[in-house]
Amino acid sequence: MRLTPVKQSPALSELAGGPVWLKCEHHQETGAFKLRGAANAVARLGDVAGVTTASTGNHGRALAYAARQVGLPAVICVSRLVPENKRAAITALGAEARVTGASQDEAFEEARRLEREEGFALIPPFDHPDIVAGQGTLGLEILDQLPDAATLAIPLSGGGLLAGVALAAKARRPEIRIIGISMERGAAMAASLSAGHPVEVEEVETLADSLGGGIGRDNRLTFALCRDLMDGMILLSEAEIAAGIRHLAREDGETVEGAAAVGAGAVLAGKLRARGGPLVLLLSGGNIDPALHREIVGETS
């Protein structure tokens, strides 16, 4: 596990009206924050036949990595919407990327079968206490590096990242603001919070593919934690997400995937400003297809 760096973004700071810092978690092992939760969950396992999950890519890659470290087989169930580069990264770590269905919910059915019939431990990507606790280390790490941080902008999907970071950060600094950011297309947590209970949404293609998938109709932890701990939520269009990817590449020299660019996209769109102190944008992952990144940034191969 790496201690990932923070760096100030001069251009975003000017746009946001105050200091903006980038927490470069896309430099983590496996290219995303997910290793924190996966490694914590695997470390706490007993005797199992293997591990499984359903994933939009980054959690599956992290679980494959953590399982390989302790010699456990891993079967990662993914939907047809998961990009090929993320499936390939899973298999490169010695795990099986099993394509099942057209949504994360459908992929979960196969993971549950493996748990039920073959003795695999099912480690979900977000709604699990060990996952939330592992992601929470990011909140403590950010405040160790930037003790006066006033606002944390967190990519929001199933809520494991936001819940863990918010729990840890608010325990140390109760006044800190937690802003969740997601895409307009298929944001399950946003729809669930609006409805007042977990709901299903249609899973569609988006540049922020790591933020896709449902939160589970039987969500036990993250729905309530996000509802109670989040101070605001921002939704972005696909064009705004692309602008974030492009800006971070051109101005800050950082290659990130769509989910990691939502904080920058929100600042660029005028939807997020620094208030009362430093604003920290969590760059959650860098596992973007290289060809897609070149297309968005406007580079030629």
d(CA 193, CA 19): 30
Indicate if 34 belongs to the active site.
yes
Cα-Cα end-to-end distance for the chain: 33
What pLDDT, on a 0 to 100 scale, did the predictor assign at position 1?
Answer: 84
Q: Which residues contact 236 (CB under 8 A, 6 or more apart)?
A: 181, 182, 183, 184, 208, 244, 262, 265, 266, 269, 271
| Interval 235-239 mean pLDDT | 98
The band of 133, judged by pLDDT with boundaries at 50, 70 and 90, is very high
Task: Give the model confidence (pLDDT) of 90-131 as tens digits.
Answer: 999 999 999 999 888 889 999 999 999 999 999 999 999 999
Higher per-residue pLDDT: 160 or 103: 160
Cβ burial of 170 (10 Å; 0-12, 13-18, 19+) is middle
Indicate if 7 belongs to the active site.
no
Computed over every residue of the chain, the mean pLDDT equals 95
Q: Do 187 and 236 form a contact (C-beta atoms < 8 A)?
A: no
Q: Do 149 and 176 form a contact (C-beta atoms < 8 A)?
A: yes
The band of 301, judged by pLDDT with boundaries at 50, 70 and 90, is very low
Domains of the chain: 6-32+129-297 (3.40.50.1100), 34-122 (3.40.50.1100)
Three-class DSSP category at 73: coil
The band of 300, judged by pLDDT with boundaries at 50, 70 and 90, is low
**Of 59-68, 82-91, 140-149, 240-249, where does mean pLDDT reach its minimum?**
82-91
Task: Give the model confidence (pLDDT) of 241-282 as tens digits.
Answer: 999 999 999 999 999 999 999 999 999 999 999 999 999 999
Among the options 23, 34, 86, 192, which is catalytic? 34
Task: Find the length of the chain.
Answer: 301
| Interval 24-46 mean pLDDT | 96
What pLDDT, on a 0 to 100 scale, did the predictor assign at position 204?
Answer: 87
What pLDDT, on a 0 to 100 scale, did the predictor assign at position 174?
Answer: 97
Q: Which residues contact 214 (CB under 8 A, 6 or more apart)?
A: 103, 104, 105, 158, 188, 198, 200, 201, 203
Among the options 55, 79, 103, 284, which is catalytic? 284
